[in-house]
């Protein structure tokens, strides 16, 4: 399995793809990240065409177990971030 791309590598690839310098690519990546974070934190969702959809969903209160002690307790409801991968990306990986 290949190593995951680091932010520095992503910025360099983005700068090359855009034909811009790394400072501009970093600003663009940070702007996209901030927009996604703000929208998902507010309960919305963001669709990245060709990549997928990032959304926030609520998990209900539930019983969980501490694996170390075996003790069961009630975990309050919380929110989780979920990403649904686009069919186009799945097809390009598998095809």
- The structure's pTM equals 0.78
Confidence class for position 95, pLDDT limits 50, 70, 90: confident
- Contact in structure between 86 and 53 (CB atoms under 8 Å): yes
**90, pLDDT greater than 80:** yes
Pairing of strands 72-75, 62-65: antiparallel
How far is Cα 39 from Cα 31, in angstroms, rounded to an integer?
12
Angle at CA 93, nearest 5°, toward 88 and 95?
Answer: 85
Phi then psi dihedrals of residue 22, to 5 deg: -65, -30
Mean pLDDT of 6-10: 95
Region for residue 69 given its phi and psi (left: phi exceeds 0; alpha: psi -120 to 50; beta: otherwise) = alpha
How far is Cα 45 from Cα 31, in angstroms, rounded to an integer?
16
Tell me: the pLDDT tens digits for 26-74? 999 999 999 999 999 999 999 999 999 999 999 999 999 999 999 999 9
Q: What integer pLDDT is reported at residue 40 of this predicted model?
A: 95
Tell me the average pLDDT of the chain. 94
């Amino acid at each position: 399995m290949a190593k995951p791309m680091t932010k520095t590598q992503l910025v360099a690839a983005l700068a090359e793809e855009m034909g811009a310098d790394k400072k501009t690519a970093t600003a663009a990546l940070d702007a996209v990240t901030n927009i996604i974070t703000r929208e998902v934190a507010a309960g919305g969702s963001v669709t990245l065409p060709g990549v997928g959809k990032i959304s926030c969903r609520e998990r209900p209160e539930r019983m969980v177990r501490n694996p170390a002690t075996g003790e069961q307790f009630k975990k309050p409801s919380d929110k989780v971030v979920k990403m649904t991968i686009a069919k186009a990306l799945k097809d390009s990986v598998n095809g």
